[in-house]
């Protein structure tokens, strides 16, 4: 039957069989992955398997398709006799292979970094460095892959490399702010004054948790659940308090004032007992730290003091202060200790006398 066809038609039929020989296994592999291998990977107790094997799906299926296209074209003898067409088709298939290799490599690198990040879930500092390293590695792979594709396409990249110095100066001037943010982000990751999960107190009494130190922005989740994005160069120049450094445990205090006729020794004992109860309620485990009182000043209407407690983690300071205020209010009321209101003495002059003194 094939003998009755022209040589060109026979080449097309042969190419079709070659395509089918590769594309059918590619389709069967995708079905096998979707029905059997994919669910097994998702249920696997080893996350490394899932993260590192997922990129193989695209590599195998698209590799079979590209391999079939390449062999099918090689079977078209009439097309191979056309040098220009053959050159462009060969370049196109090669570029497709390079694109597939770039995709597979970036996915594989992303899977490796994600696996490391999952291992370091409890270590926000390491997880933050892993995220930044993943972005840098992915960017480098894409840049080198793009340069290789240009070479395959017949584009001379030597002028691009030779003019890189001049172009770098021009780009640096045009992207000065963006590059300053990028380098500030690199320095933040090298110096590591913060890590993911740290509680920060910023300017304007804003507080929040570090979510990410990216290439351009540092992201902080505030208490109202809004996301504050600070340019890295601004963040690097700002002053902030890191409640998690050098240790997660820290001291907190509550300030209060009592009446001038109070017994200060008795007030101190009651306040320490209240602070001890609040400290135990706020911490997840018992601490050996003993709360203490420090008298601050003679106020306008009260003697002011602070009672100090210690908490295991930064967020517990708010619970400790909350419990301490309630407990001191309850115990002071039971012990008859007065927390006075501000008292002001106002002197009113006689309006009639003032009017009589005015010049006529």
Taking only the tens place, the pLDDT of each residue in 86-96 is 778 888 888 88
CA dist 72 and 14 (Å) reads 8
Average confidence (pLDDT) over 60-71 = 84
Average confidence (pLDDT) over 116-145 = 69
Whether residue 129 is found in the same domain as residue 214: no
Look at residue 180 and tell me if it is in a domain.
Answer: no
Q: Give the model confidence (pLDDT) of 10-25 as tens digits.
A: 777 777 888 888 888 8
Look at residue 356 and tell me if it is in a domain.
Answer: no
Beta strands 241-242 and 199-201 are antiparallel
Lowest-pLDDT range of 38-52, 120-134, 191-205, 263-277: 120-134
Instruction: Look at the chain and report how many structural domains it folds into.
Output: 3
Whether residue 45 is found in the same domain as residue 166: yes
Whether residue 52 is found in the same domain as residue 165: yes
To the nearest whole number, what is the mean pLDDT of the chain? 79
Q: Is the pLDDT of residue 121 over 80?
A: no
Look at residue 176 and tell me if it is in a domain.
Answer: no
The CATH number of the domain holding residue 284 is 3.30.70.100
pLDDT of 166 reads: 55
DSSP 291: P
Peptide bond into 124 cis (omega under 30): no
Q: Which residue has the tokens 């908490």?
A: 311
Whether residue 108 is found in the same domain as residue 166: yes
pLDDT of 272 reads: 95
pLDDT of 189 reads: 67
As a whole-number percent, the residues of the chain with pLDDT over 70 amount to 76
Look at residue 298 and tell me if it is in a domain.
Answer: yes
Whether residue 64 is found in the same domain as residue 135: yes
Look at residue 359 and tell me if it is in a domain.
Answer: no
pLDDT of 360 reads: 47
Whether residue 18 is found in the same domain as residue 158: yes
Whether residue 206 is found in the same domain as residue 234: yes
**Structural domain boundaries enclosing 138:** 2-171
Beta strands 250-258 and 207-213 are unpaired
Whether residue 113 is found in the same domain as residue 55: yes
Q: Give the model confidence (pLDDT) of 279-328 as tens digits.
A: 999 998 888 899 999 999 998 889 999 999 999 988 899 999 999 999 99
Confidence class of residue 174 from pLDDT cuts 50, 70 and 90? low
Whether residue 211 is found in the same domain as residue 281: no
Whether residue 260 is found in the same domain as residue 232: no
The CATH number of the domain holding residue 218 is 2.30.30.60
The token duo for 354 is 């003032």
Look at residue 349 and tell me if it is in a domain.
Answer: no
Among candidates 313, 309, 333, 335, which has minimal Cα distance to 323? 309
CA dist 331 and 263 (Å) reads 15
**Between the CA atoms of 87, 89, 95 and 101, what dihedral angle is there, to the nearest 10 degrees?**
-120
The reply to whether the predicted model has a pTM over 0.85 is: no
């Amino acid at each position: 039957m094939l003998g009755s066809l022209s040589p060109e038609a026979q080449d097309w039929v042969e190419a079709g069989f070659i395509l089918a020989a590769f594309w059918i296994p590619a389709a069967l592999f995708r079905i096998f992955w979707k029905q059997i291998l994919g669910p097994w990977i998702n249920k696997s107790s080893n996350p490394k398997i899932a993260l590192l094997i997922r990129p193989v799906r695209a590599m195998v299926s698209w590799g079979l398709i590209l391999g079939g296209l390449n062999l099918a074209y090689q079977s078209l003898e009439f097309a191979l006799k056309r040098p220009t067409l053959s050159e462009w088709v060969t370049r196109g298939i090669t570029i497709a292979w390079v694109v597939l290799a770039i995709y597979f490599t970036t996915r594989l690198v992303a899977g490796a970094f994600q696996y490391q990040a999952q291992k370091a879930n409890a270590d926000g500092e390491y997880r933050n460095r892993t995220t930044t390293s993943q972005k840098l590695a992915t960017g480098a792979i894409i840049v080198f892959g793009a340069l290789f594709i240009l070479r395959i396409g017949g584009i001379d990249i030597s002028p691009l490399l030779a003019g890189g110095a001049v172009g770098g100066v021009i780009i640096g001037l045009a992207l000065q702010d963006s590059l300053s943010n990028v380098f500030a982000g690199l320095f933040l990751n090298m110096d590591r004054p913060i890590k993911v999960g740290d509680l920060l107190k910023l300017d304007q009494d804003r507080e929040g948790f570090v979510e990410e130190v990216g290439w351009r922005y540092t992201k902080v989740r505030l208490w109202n659940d809004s996301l504050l994005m600070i340019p890295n160069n601004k963040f690097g120049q700002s002053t902030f308090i890191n409640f998690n450094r050098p240790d997660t445990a820290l001291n907190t205090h509550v300030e209060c004032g009592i009446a001038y006729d109070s017994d200060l020794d008795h007030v101190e004992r009651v306040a320490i007992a209240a602070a001890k109860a609040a400290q135990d309620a706020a911490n997840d485990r018992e601490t050996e730290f003993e709360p203490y009182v420090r008298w601050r000043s003679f106020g306008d209407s009260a003697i002011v003091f602070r009672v100090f407690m210690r908490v295991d983690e930064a967020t517990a300071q708010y619970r400790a202060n909350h419990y301490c205020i309630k407990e001191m209010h309850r115990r002071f009321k039971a012990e008859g200790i007065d927390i006075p209101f501000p008292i002001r003495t106002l002197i009113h002059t006689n309006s009639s006398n003032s009017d009589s003194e005015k010049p006529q």
